[in-house]
Amino acid sequence: AQSVSQHNHHVILSEAASLELGCNYSYGGTVNLFWYVQYPGQHLQLLLKYFSGDPLVKGIKGFEAEFIKSKFSFNLRKPSVQWSDTAEYFCAVNAHNQGGKLIFGQGTELSVKP
């Protein structure tokens, strides 16, 4: 069965620090990859997605993620975080033989200190 691992459970950064959140998945076939964000008190929303083509994808609010197929990874990055980036971040994988079903990681809570 497919699985998604987010190794960082809680990350604490100061404003302007660089961010990288790890995401690894286990599935040997073709996948679509997603990052979702949940701000405090809000519902989950899509941050960015990868389907094909350029493995470096850019999302909203200055976030980007790089798909490295050989490492089964899809790490999320941001060069300079802001206090408003405080949220929980979820990586998700859609395997092409699973219809539209997404398998989510356990989430990484990001706290940015002003």
Partner 1 sequence: GAGVSQSPSNKVTEKGKDVELRCDPISGHTALYWYRQSLGQGLEFLIYFQGNSAPDKSGLPSDRFSAERTGGSVSTLTIQRTQQEDSAVYLCASSSQAGPGGYGYTFGSGTRLTVV
* Sequence-ordered list of residues with C-beta below 8 angstroms from that of 5, at least 6 positions apart, any chain: 22, 23, 24, 25, 26, 105, 106
Residues 54-113 that bind partner 1 (CB under 8 A): 90, 92, 94, 96-97, 99-107
Q: Least Å distance between CB 46 and partner 1?
A: 5
Contacts with partner 1 by CB under 8 A: the residue count is 26
Pick from 21, 27, 29, 23: nearest CA to 2: 27
Closer residue to partner 1 in complex, CB, 84/97: 97
Judged by CB under 8 A, which of 44, 64, 72, 73 binds partner 1? 44
Q: Least Å distance between CB 51 and partner 1?
A: 7
Look at residue 41 and give its three-state secondary structure: coil
Stretch that binds partner 1, among 15-23, 45-53, 61-69, 79-87 (CB under 8 A): 45-53
The amino acid sitting at 58 is K
Closer residue to partner 1 in complex, CB, 61/96: 96
Residue 17: burial class (beta carbons within 10 Å; 0-12, 13-18, 19+): middle
